[in-house]
Amino acid sequence: MSAKKPARKSTQDKGADDSAAKFEKLLTDANKIERFVFRLYITGNTIRSSQAIANIRAVCEDYLAGRYELEVVDIYQQPKAAAREQIIAAPTLIKKLPAPVRRLIGNLSDRAKILVALNLTRGRDSSKKPLKTR
């Protein structure tokens, strides 16, 4: 009588196992990446509103590329949303996530202050262009 040898996995099965393991690792790593959620309240199509939008988008692209959501809310078009958030001045940026919630008022032109307020001064990709204040 001959002893049965354990079945060997085909290279195709092994490749599927490797792919599944890689996919699971990517999912785990994706959950570790901090996502930022911002809401910017503006007042119509004004210079200050346009500056605030441009300034926060530039910061987000430089420091949070692919890891942020930015919602722009015109308080003239959505006054109830502004009332719910108790917006008393515009432009106002609210960082919803990650905690803690932060509020910044103004056209967001002082990049150094924005970075400190949003806690973005550490972990910056060194391949990006140098810090500029506007």
| 54-86: pLDDT as tens digits | 999 999 999 999 999 999 999 999 999 999 999
Q: What angle do CA 61, 65, 69 make, to 5 degrees?
A: 90
The β-bridge partners of 41 are: 73, 92
pLDDT tens digit sequence for 16-28: 678 888 777 665 5
15's tokens: 């490749």
Of 1-5, 12-16, 65-69, the range with the highest mean pLDDT is 65-69
Element (H, E) at 74: strand 68-74
Q: How many CB atoms lie within 10 A of CB 75?
A: 20
Between 3.40.50.1000, 1.10.3470.10, 3.40.30.10, 3.30.70.3040, what CATH number should domain 34-117 receive?
3.40.30.10
- pTM listed for this prediction: 0.68
Element (H, E) at 39: strand 36-42
Would you say 74 and 133 are in contact if contact means Cβ atoms under 8 Å apart?
no
- pLDDT value at residue 134: 39
